[in-house]
Every structure is written in C-alpha cells, then in structure tokens.
Structure 1
C-alpha cells in the first residue's frame, strides 16, 4: 500500500471521529510514521499500531496549558500493514487504532478500550 493511500485511510478514520468528540478534543496533532521505535527497555521487535503521547483531558489541571506542547497521536504504517492481510483489514485496523488513541486523549485506559471492542 502506498504512503498516499495509507494517509487517506488515516484521514478517513480521523474524519469518522464523531463531531461531539472532535469539539471536546484539545491541542492534539496526528502523525503517521513508518515504524515504531522501541523505547529503552522495550524489546527491539516491539510492534505497536498507534501511540498517544500527551496529558489526557482527565488529568489536566489549571496549570497544564501554560506552554504545553500538543498531544501527539501517531499511527504506524508498517506494523499496521504487517498485522493485516487485506485492504479491508487495513481500513478496519486504522479506524480502530485512531479511535483507540483518541480515547486515550479522553483518559480511557487500555482495559476499558478492550472491553468496548476498541482494543
């Protein structure tokens, strides 16, 4: 799958975020990277499909906004493609991954996301 096609799938998933959620999101940017670079201490073969980096809305206090960088949601192309067999699988997985990472922005943890089917 080309970079442009994958980018379009991610954009479609972002466009599919309910408007009610979009209006509540604050200071978030989306990125697409080819590969996840494991952090020190993580196995070198760690493959994740998406990553939320930031301070969840539920954890922000009055001092948070002064000089805060935007939260980052990164979707990883190659791990996603490796996890999927068909284009339809990629479409589904990108949608799930985008929603999963957006949910982290709202303070929803992995356990709850798995319970809701967005794991």
Structure 2
C-alpha cells in the first residue's frame, strides 16, 4: 500500500528527495518515543529522518539515505477511528513526511496532496 501511495505522489515532489527509503514498522522505537515526547506510541503515524533542504550543504557528506517511517499500528488505529480510506491516510502521511524534507508548511502539503 505504501508503494502504491508513493506512486501517486507528484514527481516534482519526489525528484529532489534522493535515495528515499520507506520503512513500515508497527510502532516508533523507544528512542523515537522519547525524542518526540510521545504520550503513546499511537500518537505518531509517520516520521521523516534525514537532512532537510534548509540544512543541506554541498560540503556535507551524507551518512545515509533519507528515510520515512510509516507506523502501521497507529495508522490502522487512526483508520478505525476516522473511517477515512486507508490508502488516502497512507498517502497523506507520506506527503506530510516528504514535506518536512522541504520545510513545507501544513498548508503547502495540503495543496500538494490535493493535486491529482
């Protein structure tokens, strides 16, 4: 489902994100929970890990790929609570996390998500 959702995201959004890796895990790990100060592991649907464009430099050596984590159980819980279509939720989380790579506002991400 994550791969299908990724295929629907506009190419201009994905092109500058090199070596993007999408991980699907049940929940955020303990370190992430502490770092994000989560009250519950269900509080986080996804997470972008990487160097956002506002902090990149041509002199920097990249230590690894940009990564997006999708947290399966919180996404499924959100789906059950809201009744939204599951593929739409996954797509929304992906766009939101990719947007963090660019420093986009929530409004920018909503506009991009609305593109078909």
Would you call these one fold, judging by a TM-score over 0.5?
yes
In structure 2, C-alpha distance between the alignment counterparts of 1:41 and 1:99, rounded to whole Å: 19
Name 2:66's counterpart in structure 1: 71
- Deviation of 1:56 after TM superposition, in Å, equals 0.7
Which sections of structure 2, spanning at least 5 residues, go unmatched?
none
Q: Which residue of 2 aligns with 1:30?
A: 22
Distance in 2 (alpha carbons) for counterparts of 1:21 and 1:41 = 25
So what's the TM-score if we normalise by structure 1?
0.75
Does residue 104 in structure 1 map to residue 97 in structure 2?
no
Runs of 4+ in 1 over 6 A off after TM superposition: none
Whether the aligned pair in 1 keeps the contact of 2:95 and 2:109 (CA below 8 Å) is no
Q: Deviations over 1:65-86 (max 9, x none)?
A: x242111100110000001128
- Give the helix-richer structure, 1 or 2: 2
Instruction: Give the secondary structure class of the aligned counterpart of 2:85.
Output: helix
**Relative to 1, partners in 2 of residues 1:41 and 1:31: Cα closer, same or farther, differing over 3 Å?**
closer
* Contact 2:96–2:109 (CA under 8 A) maintained in structure 1: no
2:36 and 2:97 mapped to 1: Cα distance? 22
User: Structure 2 matches for 1:34-73, cutoff 5 A?
Assistant: 34-37=26-29, 38-39=33-34, 42-46=37-41, 47-64=43-60, 66-73=61-68
Partner SS for 2:18 = coil
Bigger RCO of structures 1 and 2 (CA < 8 A, at least 6 apart):
2
- RMSD, aligned CA: 2.3
TM-score by length of 2: 0.76
